Amino acid sequence: VPQYAAVPGKQPVVRIVTLGCAKNQVDSEEIAGVLRDAGLEVDAAAARPDVTIVNTCGFLQASKEEAAEVIRKAVRSKGRGKVIVAGCLPQRIGGDIARVAPGADLYAGVGQMARFPELVQRALDADGPVHEIEPPHHRWAAVTSRARAGSPWSAYLKVSEGCDHRCSFCAIPAIRGPHVSKPIERVVEEARHLAATGAVELNLVAQDVTHYGFDIYREAALPRLLRELDAVEGVAWIRLLYLYPSRVTPEVVEAMATLPKVLPYADIPLQHAHPDTLRRMRRPWEGERYLRLIERMRAAIPDLAVRTTFIVGFPGETEREFEHLLDFAREARFDRAGAFVYSREPGTPSHDMPGQVPAKVKRQRLERLMRVQAGVSLERNRAWTGRDMRVLAEEARDGWTACRSFRDAPEVDGLVLVPGALRPGSMTTVRIERTDVHDLYAAPPRNLVRMRPG
């Protein structure tokens, strides 16, 4: 354990600010765990921390701008403390980070969690900016523990890092490197630990969870992993985040259909449906095959909820290609779909493609697609009226409890609103009375536990 000498007799206080996605949140929790194991105090609310770590996202232009702003603020208010900039943004832009986000004391990339005690010490000792950006690597075994932030009953569990696909719009493989799976025994050990500390819902995250195991076991090991996780005591729900369409094999579908804890929930980011757009995106298949896949999954997995994401305004997207996507969205009847306007990212192949779509057209297409999807989502939600579903209580406020069902991944999907106050983290079965585009509204549950005021 390193010795910290910044303030004699007192260990430094570290504040971690996390930007971006669930995977970054897991990284921050691992950094916090490693620092606590080394004897440091990690306090998200510290007013005058000795060190502030900003764990950045660098995926899109908008995330870069947000990160630069947060870092500026941290630098302005650091006083005698130090600032470390870590994560995807420095990994992506390398030495340019000091120009984009000046004034920090140390710049690190992704995947160096176990080194953070040493990096904090170096930042404390630094007189000028230190650059510690190495090629991305993920040494799972080197991470000793994880200090959870957020609700104890729902946890993200990272099963792999990086990505071997080469979608032409995406910077992630350049930022996070090639796909590296966490060994099954490590994932299961982590799942047991999360369950022992109160997690009933495990959200498995990876860039492509269906690619799990190819690098270390030379086979698609997701079904095997799911069988082992299904046996972990205390876990009630296992949710898969990000299935790659051409890798959803019959074995994956069977595991989802038969393992009791694996939720009937499929998040399959498709990005588009027109064969020409998909070819330019370097994505597999086309709308027809996607429809057949979804049909097959729905036939095998009762009540399957399907979520997807689309990109509109990809270079060369004609009105005809876009209308094809609208038709596809109507026909596929996704429970939920997120859509993004194409962001022209330096260093990605699509950045220099001809036929860049004007910003105004992109925005209009986004609105048109979201209007179509709103109608579909409403219809999918309405089908639940009068039916019972099991929900996980998240937060009680103003006479209602915000809950999630198997159809609702944390943060991105809708809610089930239940009258009365349920204990956060508890599960109960409710009957759906009415719905809107985003949320479902339940009748008061019979076994309602009224919480004492205060």
What residues line the site for ligand SF4 (CB under 6 A)? Answer: 163, 165-167, 170, 172-173, 207-208
Break the chain down into helix, strand, coil percent, rounded to 5. Answer: 35, 20, 40
Q: Are 205 and 190 in contact (CB under 8 A)?
A: no
Cβ proximity to ligand SF4, 167 vs 306, nearer residue: 167
- Residue 7, φ and ψ in degrees, nearest 5: -120, 115
The alpha helices in 236-358, defined as continuous H runs, are: 250-258, 275-281, 287-300, 319-332
Cβ proximity to ligand SF4, 208 vs 394, nearer residue: 208
Residue matched to tokens 């990605």: 348
Least separation in angstroms between CB 173 and ligand SF4 = 5
Cβ proximity to ligand SF4, 88 vs 101, nearer residue: 88
Bridge-based pairing of strands 265-267 and 51-56 is unpaired
* CA–CA separation, 22 and 27 (whole Å): 9
Cβ proximity to ligand SF4, 208 vs 317, nearer residue: 208
- Residue 275, φ and ψ in degrees, nearest 5: -60, -35
Cβ proximity to ligand SF4, 56 vs 207, nearer residue: 207
Least separation in angstroms between CB 164 and ligand SF4 = 8
Least separation in angstroms between CB 207 and ligand SF4 = 4
Would you give the DSSP letter of residue 271?
B
* CA–CA separation, 410 and 234 (whole Å): 19
Least separation in angstroms between CB 180 and ligand SF4 = 13
Cβ proximity to ligand SF4, 52 vs 271, nearer residue: 271
Cβ proximity to ligand SF4, 207 vs 435, nearer residue: 207
Cβ proximity to ligand SF4, 214 vs 237, nearer residue: 214
- Residue 180, φ and ψ in degrees, nearest 5: -130, 120
* CA–CA separation, 237 and 154 (whole Å): 9
Least separation in angstroms between CB 370 and ligand SF4 = 20
Alpha-carbon torsion (418, 422, 426, 428), positive or negative: negative
CB atoms within 10 A of CB 202: 26
- Residue 83, φ and ψ in degrees, nearest 5: -125, 130
Least separation in angstroms between CB 314 and ligand SF4 = 12
CA dihedral 259, 260, 263, 268 (to 10 degrees): 10
Cβ proximity to ligand SF4, 57 vs 74, nearer residue: 57
Nearest 5°: CA angle at 454, between 422 and 234?
40
Alpha-carbon torsion (130, 136, 141, 143), positive or negative: positive
Cβ proximity to ligand SF4, 350 vs 381, nearer residue: 350
Cβ proximity to ligand SF4, 191 vs 243, nearer residue: 243
Going by C-alpha positions, the residue among 7, 2, 14 that lies closest to residue 82 is: 14
Least separation in angstroms between CB 284 and ligand SF4 = 10
Least separation in angstroms between CB 392 and ligand SF4 = 28
Going by C-alpha positions, the residue among 341, 343, 344 that lies closest to residue 364 is: 341
Least separation in angstroms between CB 8 and ligand SF4 = 46
* CA–CA separation, 147 and 355 (whole Å): 47
Least separation in angstroms between CB 307 and ligand SF4 = 15
Sheet holding 265-267, edge to edge: 154-158, 201-205, 237-241, 265-267, 305-312, 336-341
Least separation in angstroms between CB 175 and ligand SF4 = 9
